[in-house]
Amino acid sequence: MTTSRQNDPIVGIDLGTTNSLVAYCDEKGPRILPSPEGQHLLPSVVRFDEQGNPAAIGTEARRHAVEHPTRTVFSVKRLMGRSRDDVAGELAYLPYEVVAGDQNTARVKVGDRVLSPQEISAMILRELRRWAESALGTTVRRAVITVPAYFDDAQRQATRDAGRIAGLEVLRIVNEPTAAALAYNIGLQPAKPSTVSLSTKFNAAACATPASCRDNSGDVADASPDTAPSQIVAVFDLGGGTFDVSILRLAHTQQGIVDQVLATAGDTHLGGDDVDRLIVESLQRDIQSQFGQHIAFPPATRQAFRNLAEAAKIRLSDEKEAKIEIDLGNGRSFQRTITRDELEQMVQPWVQRAIDCCRLALKAAKLTHENIDRVILVGGSTRMPVVRRAVAEAFVTDPYTALNPDEVVALGAAVQASVLAGTNRQVLLLDVIPLSLGIETLGGAVAKLIMANSTIPARATEMFTTHVEGQTNVSIHVLQGERELVKDCRSLGRFDLRGIPPMPAGLPKINVTFLIDANGILNVMAEEQRSGKAARIQIIPNHGLTREEVARMENESFAHAQEDMSAHRLIDLKNQAKLDLRAIDRQLQRVADELDADYRREIGDKVAAVQTFLDTDTPDLDAFHHALDAMDKATVRLAEVAIRRTLSE
């Protein structure tokens, strides 16, 4: 091997049944590498022409799958390393032809050409390699590729062969659940006895005896809890077409990360596609009920149904209802609104099948939910609130959701690749909070809840309120940085607190809690105290920042401290002034008839003085503060009169 090849980047690849991704990890941490067009997910679909040559890969192939059913190959991962007899149960789900090749191995026949699953997978891998080379600006020859934990040696070798056909040296085959755990930095470094995660329910008895652990390449290494502190992790992987749950023990030794898959369970025909199908069947029944049983659904209409069903399912993960409109032709139009409650009732048996598999896996591992330290969600279907609630109830702990469930396996593969490449990954390890964490407040200021260099675990809660009359939704914007204004800090994520009863500005009491555990996972929770409405988000706060960037941001905060504090103080004064002016206006409208003319004039003068500062771009802050204080003192009697009026009504 040449030196130049040894210096080539090593990428991580999630070669998925439904979608595939490529990622890379450097000193900034792991990131997904997009296509030249900015696409992150590559559908694992290849369309062939009539001669059996690839005509389209990815989104274009999937978009026209209904028009070319026998020449569009998807879910080829299910055929990897299998005989035709092994996949006999799959054939009813596949519109293309699967034939027996040498030694009865499964092959795909397209026209007169017969292709192995490895050749078709290599086409997908070549496309991902093209994406990576475009994003990194260099040749990519080496990769770590993930496989399901239950893949046997033949399936793993078939995956290696696909990589070789694609021109990639596959340095390591990593179990998908292990990759997901690595993406969260679980088990990557020895545990510190003095550090206890707030979300951990570690049971020492589960690791009380030496274990024989299997590393990512399939070789066996011995690991003892004396030298390899371990964690028991459950990975719940619910994708588009398949489901599996893996219970594994992760540990760190002098030889690196080792994992032992304690148990797996799953269903190869349980996934988001089933939810789409349930929605489509419901729509078709309603259409036939409205327009008659004779109405037909040609291929183009069926494709439209699938697209609309998938879009509605995705929308219902964030919203309470989704409206569907379908043009049936001949002047006929069908409209239907699906609520989240309706969808959750529809999919309850589907969710229960997955939870039953979890119970089987725990039983096979001879464990209970109390032995599980972490639960990680993988696969786009885990975005559904009903799934997340069911998983939390089954394992009696909140699952990890900070990373995109579509991307977490590829990110973990990139982490393993960086270990093989010798890249310094300490940037991802948090012993202290490197930068302050807070939320955006009205006017673009940052309210910091956890300060830089706080040791973890850490927790902080502050109360906020609204500044708009009758506001029913509040957007929570989570930020990282040392500066005082949003524009100078790094955005980590946003979420909405919805359904707050309409109240006057300033009346709602919204508790915002930041909780960061020993693995650096930040949970941000917001709850309106009067109504009990709550929402939350989970984030990894320092992903994508090197130590040099952290230092730069700290230095900038020192250099701009004076101007930042002045800007923040001005925002706070203006927010308080606007809130007070609204309250005074409301009170005057109610009780002005009880006030003498001189007192009303005094209030008017104080209000006018504050309004002048509000209308000035760069007011004197001390003078502004004194004017606001004078207005507050002058309106004490007004507030007392308003309270008496309220009590007497």
Catalytic residues: 14, 77, 176, 237
Q: Are strands 211-214 and 97-100 parallel, antiparallel or unpaired?
A: unpaired
75 vs 16: CA distance, rounded Å: 8
Three-class SS of residue 330? coil
Residues 96, 48 contacting (CB under 8 angstroms): no
Three-class SS of residue 37? coil
Residues 175, 147 contacting (CB under 8 angstroms): yes
What are residue 267's DSSP bridge partners? 243
CB atoms within 10 A of CB 289: 9
C-alpha atoms less than 13 angstroms from C-alpha of 331 in its C-beta half-sphere: 0
32 vs 12: CA distance, rounded Å: 9
358 vs 139: CA distance, rounded Å: 42
What is the chain's length?
A: 649
From residue 140, alpha-carbon distances to 6, 22, 127, 169, 215 in Å are 11, 11, 12, 10, 25
Residues 486, 522 contacting (CB under 8 angstroms): no
580 vs 483: CA distance, rounded Å: 27
DSSP state of 83: B
- Give the residue from 32, 27, 33 showing the smallest Cα distance to 429: 27
DSSP state of 541: T
Instruction: Give 551-568 as a 3 state SS string.
Output: HHHHHHHHHCHHHHHHHH
DSSP state of 285: H
From residue 25, alpha-carbon distances to 139, 411, 423, 563 in Å are 16, 8, 8, 36
Residues 297, 284 contacting (CB under 8 angstroms): yes
First to last CA, the chain: 89
622 vs 629: CA distance, rounded Å: 11
- Give the residue from 82, 156, 168, 169 showing the smallest Cα distance to 117: 82
